[in-house]
Amino acid sequence: MFGIAAASAALIAIPAAPAMAQEAEQARTTYRIVYLKLADGAGERWTEIQETYNARASEKAGLKPVTVHWLMTGNWDLMLLIEMPDGLSALDTHNPRAQAAYNKAFVEVAGGEEAARKIRDELGELVTDSLVTYSHTHP
C-alpha cells in the first residue's frame, strides 16, 4: 500500500516542479537523397547533362552543388545528395524557394522553356528507376 501512495504522490508532484530550461536546438543540414538506375549505356549522357545544365543551374541559383556518388554495389547506379537549404520545411509548400530558384536558372541555362523541357524529357528517358528519401545531420 505504501508503494502505491508514494507513486501517486510522486506523479502529483511532477507538474509542480519548475520547468527545466531547454537547450536551443543546433542547426542541422537536411538532404534529399536520390537513387537512380540508368538505362544501359546512359551514364555518359547523364553525366554530360548533369555537368552542362544541372550543375550550372544550381550554381546560378546560389545552391550548393549536388554530390554525385557512382555506386559500386547494390541495385542503384547513382546516389545524389542534394542539400535542402530550408530543411524539411521545403516540403510544406508547393513552390519551395530553392526549387523555384533552380527551375528559373535551369530554364536560363538551357536557353528557354522549350529547350529545358526537352532536356528534362531526355533525362527522364535515361533513368529507368528512382527512389527519393531524406536525411539530416546530427550536430
User: pTM higher than 0.85, yes or no?
Assistant: no
Sign of CA dihedral 115, 49, 129, 85: negative
Is residue 120 assigned to a domain?
yes
* Whole-angstrom Cα Rg for the chain: 24
Query: Does any domain span residue 79?
Result: yes
In a domain, 15, yes or no: no
**Tell me, what amino acid is at 127?**
V
Higher model confidence: residue 11 or residue 75? 75
**9, pLDDT greater than 80:** no
pLDDT at 28 over 70: yes
Considering the domain boundaries, does residue 106 fall inside one? Answer: yes
CATH number, position 92: 3.30.70.100
| Residue 92 lies in domain | 30-136
- In the chain, the number of structural domains is 1
Is 40 part of a structural domain of the chain? yes
61-111 pLDDT tens trace: 999 999 999 999 999 999 999 999 999 999 998 989 999 999 999 999 999
Per the CB < 8 A criterion, the answer to whether 31 and 138 are in contact is: no
pLDDT tens digit string along 119-131?
Answer: 999 999 999 999 9
